[in-house]
Amino acid sequence: MKKIVSFLIISTMLLFVGCSLRSASSQSSQNSLPDTNKSTTEKNDVNSADKNNLEEESNNTNSKDQNTGVKNNKNQDSQGSNVKKTTTKIKIYLIAIDDNGKGGKKIDTGDSLIPIERTISTPSSPLVGALTELFSIKDRSYGQSGLYNSLYQSNLKVENAKIVNGVATINISGKLMLGGELDNPRVKAQIVETALQFSTVKDVKVFINGKSIDSVLSLK
């Protein structure tokens, strides 16, 4: 009987030791397995960071492109403004024969002075530019308007012009040709009125080849 009891005790102890060893082995195996959840989380964090970096780079690129576009537009606007400033509008005065002041300022011949707007390259002196434009017209009648140009036969050039205290002094050189006695007041009126279009000019003195225009016209 004692032998049987001893055998049962020994068997029970061996069974307990075996279970303990199995439990320890199982726990050790679990601890040695890689933490897949942690690895997956880290990968997700890395992917998220890469995505954010890519989005930030894309936004910076778009911002640079937009800034470049704005600069280009400003440059184009600036260039457009410079182009606009290379021309200016002035007036020249021609004659409406026998109009008697109906269409413009009346002169002694019973004609009228009619302003014609012209666009010219911006000159250093608007006064010189306007007179030069007037002298450049070589047609007797201006377009379809029928306006008369008493200077069409002349070959004149503005040597210089200055405005002092409201008085414009204009020096002209060249050859003055008239179509008749009535052209005398017409020539002077066209030159003087073209100069008077500028607000800084209140009076005009004209010299042709060093002589006053009145003395030159009196000889014609």
pLDDT category at 12 given cuts 50, 70, 90 is low
127 located within any domain: yes
72 located within any domain: no
**Tokens encoding 2:** 């004692």
209 located within any domain: yes
75 located within any domain: no
70 located within any domain: no
CA distance 110 to 17: 141
pLDDT in tens, 165-211: 999 999 999 999 999 999 999 999 999 999 999 999 999 999 999 99
H/E element holding 29?
helix 2-32
Is residue 86 over pLDDT 50? yes
Domain range for 206: 87-218
96 located within any domain: yes
CA distance 102 to 97: 11
Sequence length of the chain is 220
Is residue 139 over pLDDT 80? yes
| Total number of domains constituting the chain | 1
45 located within any domain: no
25 located within any domain: no
* pLDDT confidence of residue 52: 54
pLDDT in tens, 40-54: 444 444 455 555 554
